[in-house]
Structures are given as structure tokens and as C-alpha cells.
Amino acid sequence: MSLKRVRIDAQVAYGGFGTPVEHGSAVVQDAAGSRRVLFIGDRDEAAARWPDADVKTGVFAVSPPPVNAHVHLDLSRMPPYRGPYAGFIRAVVAHQRSGERGLPAAQDGLTALAKTGASVVGDVVTDEAVMFELLAREDLTGVAYWEVFAPDPAEADATFDATVERLRRFKAAERPGGMRVGLTPHTPHTVSAPLLSKLARFAAANELPLQIHVAESPDETELHQSGGGALRELMGPMLDHWTPTGMSPVAYLGELGVLDARPSLVHAVQVDEEDVRLIARAGASVVHCPRSNTALDCGRFPIELYARHGVDVAFGTDSLGSSPSLDVQAEVHAALAVHGARANAGALVRAAVKGGYRVLGLTPPRLTRGSDAAGLTVWPQPAGVSGG
């Protein structure tokens, strides 16, 4: 029988469990039309065991497929925005009023997502047609999070009842192995306190994945501390019922019991050590979107602080309105540039793979001897970088 073996040398080799190996390798064997993984681990060991293997270099990582844990597919027709966060929110509102946010835009996003090779995703959904489209797809798994936006506490009960009715209809359309239904209260300031608490309790009681944007920008911190600033000016009458909490946005979620539902917190940039302790204590997780954070002047995500407290971190691209692509590999490369020595490449690959699956409530895949090589993702080095 003819055997062909290839050793893929990479900066990071990760099988989906354990510790990623820096300067590692994967060995793949072709035999009778079947490609199987023989090994993922130390490069010297791979070279010693398979000295005659063909060698492929110029690879950043070998791993199971990474996960896009936070995206807005229905914003895929939004013109790219670069500038202050409050201006981005204004641009999103204008785009929504244009009628270009909906199923056709989400289908464009699905096409863009497929080109990256991603099939595991956490998408925020604002249109019922998009929700049913995602639940029907056989090529995707992950979570479709229904978004709730209702800042007026007088509307809390009616909005809650309508949301529960929608979620029950959505749940009836779930398929085994397909997308699951989740829930996204938009932000702590765009969902009233009584509604936030009710939604979090409902999600926990019904084992619904919960995701919320929080602590994204300095403007949000200012709103909580003083009640003023760019977000207050932007939202005008919508925040007539808002009063400053005098605490951080994360602490506010803790006060309302939202953290007890173990949500994934998107962005979570503007946090201090006490915030991260609260997140860790609750068993919540965070989704890092470095390119969007940079584009919207949100600040640097304190990845070393989350690592110190053992908080699960995943990666998401956010929307094409604030990110140049839906490619999670590019997101990890951006994180390497943003964080420098504060984060090693192995930890970032692990976050993109295992962290993403865990945030979405899925079991991370494992690549071991005999695994189908179709489950092996080979990450190219970012442009202008050599080695492996």
C-alpha cells in the first residue's frame, strides 16, 4: 500500500485539548484515499518519528476549526465605519432605517462566513426570517441569539411576554446538531433593569445561552458613572428613564443577577480587576473582538487580566460594519499585534478553538491519532511574517 506522509511545521500545534505546543507539528498520512492525522505535538518528536515525511512550512497554527463566537450577519451590507463608538451606534441606526438590515444581508454574511471555512458561530439576530434561516441550515452549528432592545421599564412586562412567545416558536424549529436558540439583551443601558433581570432568570431556568454586549467603550462607563456623555446625548429620549448606577457596567449586571445566568460578555474591554473577579466567580465568559475594538476606539481588551483569573475567552469578528472580514484567524493575528508580549500565540489559538466552543455551550473537537484530517485547520502565517 502506498503511503504519503506530510509533516506540517507550525508556530502553534493544538489538538483541541491540553496545552498548545509552540513550534510544533502535525503529521498527516494519505493511504488509499483516506487522510488521517498521525500526530500533533512536539516538532522534534515528529521529525524523529517520521524522518522521511514531506515538510510543509510557513504555517501559523494547526488545530481543529476556530469558532466565530460573536457576529452580526444581518449587518453585512453596512458600510464600514471607523471612528468613535457613539458614532458607530448612530451609523447602525441609520443603516437599519435604510432597510438594508435583514435576511438578504444575513445571507451575504453567510456567504462571507463560508469563505473563511467557519461553520460554528454565535450570531446576534434581530429579524425572525434570519432566525428561521439559521435554524434550518445544515452547514452550521452554534447559537442564534435573539436580540432584545427595550430601555423603558414601563415596557418590561410586555416585552418579556413577547420575547418568551418568540423564543418558544424559535425553539420548536431547532434541529439536532444544528443551531440552538439563545438570547441577547442588547446592552445594560438599552434594556431596562427589570427586563434584564427577568430575561436572565428565564434564560437560566430554560438553559438558554445568554450573550450581552457590555463594557465596550469608555462612553458606557461614563453613562453609568455620571449619566452623561456621548451615549446619553446620542440616545436622547430613549434614556429618559436612565439613572446613573454609580458602578461599573459589569458590577451592574452582577447587582441585577444577570451574571448568575453565566452569560458570555461581548467586548468587556473597560473593566478593572474587581469586574474580572465578578465574571470569574460567576463562571461567565468573554468574547474578544480586537479589530472592532480598534476600529471604534474602545481601548485594549485586558487579556492578561482575564488569563490571571481563569476566565474563558473566545474570539468573534463582530459585524462587517466594524471589522474588515468575518475571518477569526485574522482576528487572532490582530490580537497578537495588539497584545504583544501580554499574550502568547498558543493561548490565543486555544481561545479561538476551545474557548469558542465552550462559550457557545459545545464540546470542543479533539484531534488524536487516527482522526480524519478533514478536521484539521491549517492557519497561514499573517502577511509579512515568516517562520513556524
* CB distance 151 to 238 below 8 Å: yes
C-alpha cell at 58: 510557513
DSSP string, 333-349: HHHHHHHGGGS-HHHHH
With both helix axes pointing from N to C terminus, report the angle between 249-256 and 193-205 in degrees, rounded to the nearest 10: 60
Which residue do the cell numbers 456567504 mark?
A: 111
Contact in structure between 170 and 146 (CB atoms under 8 Å): yes
Secondary element (H or E) of residue 231: helix 230-235
Query: In what side-by-side order are the strands of the sheet with 34-42?
Result: 34-42, 21-31, 3-13, 54-63, 377-380
Backbone φ and ψ of 146, nearest 5°: -75, 125
155 is catalytic: no
Contact 381, 387 (CB under 8 A): yes
Looking only at the bridges linking them, the beta strands covering 285-288 and 34-42 are unpaired
Give 158's DSSP letter: H
Q: Give the whole-angstrom CA distance, residue 263 versus residue 254.
A: 11
Query: What count of other Cβ atoms lies within 10 Å of the Cβ of residue 36?
Result: 16
Residues in the chain: 388
Rounded Cα gap, residues 386 and 388, in angstroms: 7
Count CB neighbours of 348 within 10 A. 27
Q: Indicate which residue of 216, 220, 304, 331 is catalytic.
A: 216
Other C-beta atoms lying within 10 Å of the C-beta of residue 117: 12
Q: Which amino acid is at 312?
A: D
How far is residue 130's CA from residue 122's CA, in Å, rounded to a whole number?
A: 13
Which of 19, 2, 20 is CA-nearest to residue 379?
20
- What amino acid positions are annotated as catalytic residues? 216
